Amino acid sequence: MTASYPGFEPWREFPTLSIAEYAQFQRLIYAEAGIALSAAKQTFVATRLAPRVRDLGLPTFGAYYRRIVGGDVDELGRMLDAIAINETQFFREELQFDLLARECCGEWSAHAAAGARPRRLRVWSAACSTGEEPYSIAMVLHDRLATAGWDIEIIASDLSTSALERARAGVWSVGKLDRVPTPFMKRHFLRGEGPQAGRAKIGPAASGMIEFQRINLRDDRYPVTGSFDAIFCRNALIYFDAASRAHVIERLISHLAPGGFLFLGHAESLIGTSYPLRSVMPAVYRLSAMAAAGAP
């Protein structure tokens, strides 16, 4: 007789993800998210999806695949959440935030003072993960522009619904905030007490600027209107193949205002391409001031 211990169950091996099953998931993930997974990612996918196979009581990865393609939309979302890599941090790629704070905000302020533009700014964080990027943007723009009476709107989007839930909550362990400059910590974070000790929550000044929504960059049309003065799409394009990458870049450019800035990740370069962009610094580009914004 097997001993029974409350809260524990007999050890069960996870099912094996076969090459044929992995090929099915590769095609499905590419079709739904534009993420091109190489053969080397088979173990990664198996590890990420095995808990869902187990929790649903399914015998194989093939059964899990059939459940998804059979019309389980909620499970499709959970699968994409599991595959999405949500690695991020506050003020990642610090030089880009220096550019935003000094040159971009400085130019926008000068143009507004000269009557060349309204004191209104729109920014899109197009792969926002768990929120560190858009909150970093919000803190910079609040201190540089909002305190001077600017109306600032930040759209923050991601494919992963679970990442967006964490982003909306805006709560982190204090150890995750070591890259946040001390002045921003004092102005924009609330320190947890009692059961929340060791945690911090973003304050209303920054969070009030941001609207979170789920957007799949693979889609032909994005559910955003108007144009943006700056778009951040960092460390997302590296997961796409060349065709998907071009598709996303073209869609993003169509939502940039003339003269708008496109911020990419340090490993993402547009050098040698024919887009109407010029390089400002590594991984930061600017749309020609004469270009017409093509946002629907």
Catalytic residues: 48, 158
Neighbouring C-alpha atoms within 13 Å toward the C-beta of 85: 13
Considering all CA atoms of the chain, what is the largest pairwise distance in Å, rounded to the nearest integer? 84
Q: What is the distance between the alpha carbons of residues 154 and 167, in angstroms, rounded to a whole number? A: 13
Residue 82, SS3 per DSSP? helix
CB contact at 8 A, 123 and 252: no
Torsion, Cα of 98, 289, 257, 108 (10° steps): 40
Q: How far is CA 75 from the centre of its chain?
A: 21
Calpha distance 98→104 (Å, rounded):
9
d(CA 21, CA 42): 10
CA angle 74, 79, 81 (to 5 degrees): 95
Structural contact between residues 148 and 176, judged by C-beta atoms closer than 8 angstroms: no
